[in-house]
Amino acid sequence: MSHYYDKDDAKHRMDMAKAAPPEFQAWMAFNNIVGIETGAIPLKYRELIAIAVAHATACPYCMESHVKKGKAAGASKEEVSEAILIAAALCAGAAAAHGGMSMKFYDQA
């Protein structure tokens, strides 16, 4: 194997559905929260948030899904780009914050 992410891997999620049906259904219901159109946050912004989180959590399947859904909900390429870069900035901030903790751990060793 020369790569970790393969589009066909998504088919194997059904193995989880068969092995743990109640838990899988609960996850599916929870996973669908982004697409709720009756909430206070408009769908376009829900998708932009999901795009940012997908990049922060590094889930390529979520990236593809939410970028496409975001575009369909009216998000521009510029908005998608900004959401991604905001996520990158926050991830870098988290790394710097944890870096300070690592320096403390180094001094404690």
The Cβ of residue 65 has, within 10 Å, a number of other Cβ atoms equal to: 18
What does the alpha-carbon distance between residue 94 and residue 88 come to, in Å, rounded to a whole number? 10
The CA-CA-CA angle for residues 23, 31, 61, to 5°, reads: 110
| Token representation of residue 4 | 């970790």
Q: What is the pLDDT of residues 27-74, one digit of tens each?
A: 999 989 999 888 999 999 999 999 999 999 999 889 999 999 999 999
The Cβ of residue 67 has, within 10 Å, a number of other Cβ atoms equal to: 21
Q: Which residue from 24, 16, 3, 7 is spatially nearest to 61, judged by alpha carbons?
A: 7
Domains of the chain with CATH codes: 42-108 (1.20.1290.10)
What does the alpha-carbon distance between residue 8 and residue 30 come to, in Å, rounded to a whole number? 23
Write down the pLDDT at residue 2: 66
Write down the pLDDT at residue 43: 96
Strand (E) or helix (H) holding 57? helix 43-57
